[in-house]
Amino acid sequence: MSLQQQIETKLKTALSPNYLLVENESHKHNVPKGSESHFKVTVVSTEFQDKKLIERHRLINAILKEELSKKIHALTLHTYTTDEWQKRNETARTSPPCRGGSLHESSKDSK
């Protein structure tokens, strides 16, 4: 199973999302072709109701703890309740462009 599929499966199981999109954005970054290092996750779930953004992100960080500690270098999260998602006309923001940071680190400690 690819890392992308693994992320999808874990989030589906834990959050029963109304909408889930996991995108591999690694090709936009300074990493070898075919890498699975940079991901963008858009998730709409009733689990986020009455939770502050930091609590929503911590929830996802906990679900993906293993992946974050070993494989994922960067994870962009867009978390919405069903109401918020409809108000946004069902679109998420785009991720910022890379600034080459992976180059400045040894691959060992990048996350």
Partner 1 sequence: MDTLATIKKQIAENSVILYMKGSPAQPKCGFSANAVKILQACGVQFEYVDVLENPDIRTTLPSYANWPTFPQLYIHGELIGGSDIMSEMYESGELQELLK
Note whether 57 binds partner 1 by CB under 8 A. yes
Question: Which pairing describes strands 74-80 and 38-44: parallel, antiparallel, or unpaired?
Answer: parallel
User: Stretches 6-14, 16-24, 43-51, 100-108: which one binds partner 1 (CB under 8 A)?
Assistant: 100-108
Note whether 97 binds partner 1 by CB under 8 A. yes
According to CB under 8 A, which one of 7, 15, 44, 75 is a site residue for partner 1?
75
- In the complex with partner 1, the residue whose CB is nearer, 34 or 97, is 97
Residues that bind partner 1 (CB under 8 A): 53-54, 57-58, 61, 65, 68-69, 74-78, 93, 95-101, 104-105, 109, 111
